């Protein structure tokens, strides 16, 4: 038996299986729609239209959500490569918003968007990195479990941000829980502001930053020494020690980068879309990164595809409530939960039988070929 046959084809592993898992999640979500007494086919049709139409900016909004999910998805995916489960994307993005707010409050009346944008990106990445690197440090040096620490850091971030907003930032202008609007000359223009014909949406140039980050993460993971170290530490820490890779250092660096990636989500929200710092602006986007990374199998390209999918679901879900008022947009959370369940926790449920079937099929084919060869040889 050729050893190559021990693995099912690549398209099955990274294409068919996730697609089936997604289908399963959608079927069960449809059941929920049925329980509510609505027609799931109609609901999905509305969602698809809502997420893809160009004339009312549906597709633009999809891309706007996609931008958020790419950042948080990359953050989770990169940490996964180092064997770390970073659940703290939500908090990292949230705190990064503070970094942006500080930069904007200080400079938005003096600097132009060309100077502001790099500063804002740096600030968001730095604040996110700090919020990621502390749990990373505690895991690497003090042995505390990163899952628990990042969860705790999400809540600490909530307290910190509500303190910062309510006590310090909102008094500078704005409502009781929001900051004032940033000077419109200093923030990213929205797509419809750059393209007069385009319908209104929150889509802004941060999407480009997100795509650049995808490419950079790919480069980091598969083309750099650091990426090699990250993957070694993630899949076999003993081998890392053997190779002279400093695992603690690698974990700390990975969490810093992961936090920075999650943090840059705040650029899209605080700097691009909203133009001010709002209480709870992350609204679960950080957690969505987990579903995105799982669905995208931790590959930047997969993350883009999964982000598009979830971006569409998010946008479609928002549209849904206008047409079928009994379906709450939080339906997307149900789908998110089911996707996480089927692609993450219940991965084997679908993967096992499907890949097994392909293996058996390959084996049978190989045997047949062998038999045919033998027959030919025998004939000679």
Partner 1 sequence: MTAPAIELKAINKRFGPVWANRDIDLKVMPGTVHGIVGENGAGKSTLMSILYGFYTADTGEILVNGQNLDIRNSQQAIQAGIGMVHQHFMLVEPFTVLENVMLGMEGQAVLANARGKARKALQDIASRYGLEVDPDAIVGELPVGLQQRVEILKALYRGAKILILDEPTSVLTPQETGQLFEILESLRSQGVTVLLITHKLKEIMAITNHVSIMRAGTMVAHRETAHTSPEELAELMVGRKVLLRVDKQPAQPGEQRMEIKNLDYSDDRGVRRLKDINFNLRSGEILGVAGVSGNGQSELLKMLSGALAPNQGVMVLDTRAGHSELSAGSWRDAAEIRDLGIAHVPENRLRQALVKAFSAAENAILGYHDKPEYGETFLEPEKVVNATEVMMEAYDVRPRLPGLKTANFSGGNQQKLVLAREMLKEPDILLIGQPTRGVDIGAIEFIHRNMIAARDKGAAVLLVSVELDEILSLSDRIIVMNDGAITGEVMASETNEAELGLLMTSTAGEVPTAGNGPTGGAKAPQSEQQEEAVA
Partner 2 sequence: MEMFDQIFSLLGASIRLATPLMFAAMAGIFSERSGIVDIGLEGKMLISAFASACAAYETGSPWLGLLAGILVSVMFALMHGYASITQRGDQTISGLAVNFLASGLTVVLGHAWYGQGGLTPSVHDERFKSIILPGAEWLGENVPVVGPFYEQVISGHNILVYLAFVSVAAAYWVLFRTRFGLRLRATGEEPNAVDSAGISVAWVRYRAMIVTGVLCGCAGTYLSIAQNAAFQREMTAGRGYIALAAVIFGKWHPKGALGACLLFGFLQSLETRLQSVQLPLVGELPSQVFSAIPYIITVVLLAGFIGKAIAPKNVGVPYVKER
Of the residues 31, 195, 243, 345, which one makes contact with partner 1 according to CB under 8 A = 243
Of the residues 326, 365, 368, 373, which one makes contact with partner 2 according to CB under 8 A = 326
- By the rule CB under 8 A, 370 interacts with partner 1: no
- By the rule CB under 8 A, 109 interacts with partner 1: no
Nearest in space to 93 (alpha carbons), one of 62, 119, 70: 70
Q: Smallest distance, Å, CB 327 to partner 2?
A: 7
Of the residues 219, 371, 374, 375, which one makes contact with partner 1 according to CB under 8 A = 219
Report the site for partner 2 in 71-130 (rule: CB under 8 A): 85, 87
Q: How far is CA 72 from CA 87, 212, 214, 364, in A?
A: 10, 14, 11, 43
Of the residues 10, 114, 159, 238, which one makes contact with partner 1 according to CB under 8 A = 238
Q: Smallest distance, Å, CB 244 to partner 1?
A: 3
**What does 138 bind: partner 2, partner 1, none (CB cut-off 5 to 8 Å by kind)?**
partner 2
Of the residues 143, 244, 378, 379, which one makes contact with partner 1 according to CB under 8 A = 244
Read off the tokens for 88. Answer: 């703290």
Total chain residues near partner 1 (CB under 8 A): 26
**What does 32 bind: partner 2, partner 1, none (CB cut-off 5 to 8 Å by kind)?**
partner 2
Quick one: 10 or 380, whose CB is closer to partner 1?
10
Of the residues 52, 112, 224, 280, which one makes contact with partner 1 according to CB under 8 A = 224
Of the residues 124, 276, 338, 358, which one makes contact with partner 2 according to CB under 8 A = 338
**What does 6 bind: partner 1, partner 2, none (CB cut-off 5 to 8 Å by kind)?**
partner 1
- By the rule CB under 8 A, 337 interacts with partner 2: yes
* Residue 208 burial (CB count, 10 A): 10
Under a CB-based contact definition with an 8 Å cutoff, are residues 319 and 49 in contact?
yes
Quick one: 182 or 341, whose CB is closer to partner 2?
341
Stretch that binds partner 2, among 39-47, 93-101, 107-115, 153-161 (CB under 8 A): 153-161
Q: How far is CA 174 from CA 124, 155, 166, 209, in A?
A: 21, 24, 10, 28
Q: Residue 337: how many CA atoms within 13 Å on its side-chain side?
A: 8
Of the residues 28, 216, 228, 337, which one makes contact with partner 1 according to CB under 8 A = 228
Quick one: 37 or 118, whose CB is closer to partner 2?
37
- By the rule CB under 8 A, 37 interacts with partner 2: yes
**What does 346 bind: partner 1, partner 2, none (CB cut-off 5 to 8 Å by kind)?**
partner 2
Nearest in space to 284 (alpha carbons), one of 72, 10, 4: 72
- By the rule CB under 8 A, 246 interacts with partner 2: no
- By the rule CB under 8 A, 376 interacts with partner 2: no
Burial class (CB in 10 A: 0-12, 13-18, 19+), 228: middle
Would you tell me which residues interact with partner 1 (CB under 8 A)? Answer: 1-4, 6-7, 219, 222-225, 227-229, 231-232, 235-236, 238-239, 241-246
Would you tell me which residues interact with partner 2 (CB under 8 A)? Answer: 32, 35-37, 85, 87, 138, 142-145, 147-149, 151-153, 155-156, 158-160, 162-163, 167, 287, 290-291, 294, 326-328, 330-338, 340-341, 344-349
């Amino acid at each position: 038996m050729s050893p190559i046959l021990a693995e099912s084809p690549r398209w099955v592993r990274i294409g068919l299986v996730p697609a089936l898992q997604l289908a399963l999640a959608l079927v069960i979500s449809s059941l929920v729609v049925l329980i509510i007494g609505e027609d799931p086919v109609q609901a999905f049709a509305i969602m698809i239209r809502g997420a893809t139409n160009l004339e009312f900016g549906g597709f633009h909004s999809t891309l706007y959500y996609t931008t958020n999910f790419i950042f948080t998805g990359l953050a989770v995916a990169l940490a996964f490569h180092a064997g770390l489960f970073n659940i703290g994307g939500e908090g990292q993005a949230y705190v990064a918003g503070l970094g942006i707010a500080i930069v904007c409050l200080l400079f938005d009346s003096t600097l132009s968007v060309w100077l502001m944008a790099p500063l804002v990106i740096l600030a968001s990445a730095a604040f996110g990195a700090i919020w990621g690197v502390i749990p990373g440090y505690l895991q690497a040096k003090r042995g505390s479990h990163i899952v628990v620490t990042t969860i705790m850091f999400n809540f600490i971030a909530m307290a910190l941000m509500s303190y910062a907003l309510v006590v310090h930032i909102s008094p500078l202008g704005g409502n009781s829980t929001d900051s004032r609007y940033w000077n419109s000359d200093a923030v990213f223009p929205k797509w419809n502001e750059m393209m007069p014909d385009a319908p209104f949406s929150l889509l802004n140039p941060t999407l480009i930053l997100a795509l650049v980050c995808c490419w950079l993460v790919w480069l980091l993971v598969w083309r750099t020494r650091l990426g090699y170290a990250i993957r070694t530490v993630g899949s076999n820490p003993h081998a890392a020690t053997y190779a002279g890779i400093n695992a603690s250092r690698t974990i700390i660096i990975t969490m810093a980068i992961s936090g920075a990636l999650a943090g840059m989500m705040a650029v899209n929200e605080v700097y691009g879309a909203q133009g001010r710092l709002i209480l709870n602006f992350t609204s679960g986007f950080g957690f969505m990164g987990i579903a995105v990374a799982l669905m995208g199998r931790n590959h930047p390209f997969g993350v883009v595809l999964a982000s598009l999918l979830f971006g569409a679901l998010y946008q479609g879900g928002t549209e849904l409530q206008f047409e079928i008022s009994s379906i709450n947009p939080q339906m997307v959370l149900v789908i998110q939960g089911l996707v996480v369940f089927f692609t993450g926790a219940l991965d084997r449920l679908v993967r096992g039988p499907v890949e097994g079937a392909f293996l058996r099929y390959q084996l049978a084919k190989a045997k047949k070929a062998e038999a045919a060869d033998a027959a030919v040889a025998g004939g000679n």
